[in-house]
A = this chain, B = another copy of it.
Amino acid sequence: MSVSAHPWLGTLLGDAETAAPLGAEAQLTDLLKVEAAYARALGDAGRVSPETAEAAAQAILAAPLEPDRLRARTAQDGVVVPGLVAQLKAHLPGALHPALHSGLTSQDVIDTALVLGLRRVNDLLALRLAALSQALHDLRRDHGTAPLMGVTRMQDALPITAADRIDAWALPLADHAARLTALRPRLERLSFGGPVGVLPEADRPVAEALARHLGLPHPGKAWHAMRDGIAEYGGWLSLVTGTLGKMGQDLALMAQTGQVALAGGGGSSAMPHKQNPVAAETLVTLARFNATLLSGLHQALVHEQERSGAAWALEWLLLPQMTEATGTALRTAADLARAVRRLGPA
Question: Which positions in A face B, CB cutoff 8 Å?
Answer: 1-3, 5-13, 24, 28, 67-68, 70-83, 85, 101, 104-106, 109, 150-158, 160, 164-165, 167-168, 171-172, 175-176, 179, 182, 186, 194-198, 220-221, 225-228, 231-232, 235, 238-239, 242-243, 245-246, 248-250, 252-253, 255-257, 264-271, 274-278, 280-282, 284-285, 287-296, 298-311, 313-314, 316-318
B198 near A164: Cβ-Cβ < 8 Å = yes
A-B contact pairs, 16 of them (CB 8 A): A6-B24, A13-B313, A76-B278, A78-B276, A82-B268, A104-B270, A154-B309, A157-B196, A195-B270, A225-B246, A228-B243, A245-B301, A253-B256, A256-B257, A266-B309, A285-B310
B195 near A310: Cβ-Cβ < 8 Å = no
Chain B residue contacts of A9, Cβ below 8 A: 1, 74, 80, 316
Distance A28 CA – B172 CA, assembled complex (angstroms): 30
CB-nearest residue of chain B relative to A300?
B288
A67 near B7: Cβ-Cβ < 8 Å = yes
Known: A7-B67, A75-B11, A198-B150. Contact between A302 and B266, CB under 8 A? no
B12 near A266: Cβ-Cβ < 8 Å = no
Distance A194 CA – B250 CA, assembled complex (angstroms): 20
Chain B residue contacts of A179, Cβ below 8 A: 232
Distance A77 CA – B316 CA, assembled complex (angstroms): 31
A317 near B195: Cβ-Cβ < 8 Å = no
Distance A278 CA – B309 CA, assembled complex (angstroms): 7
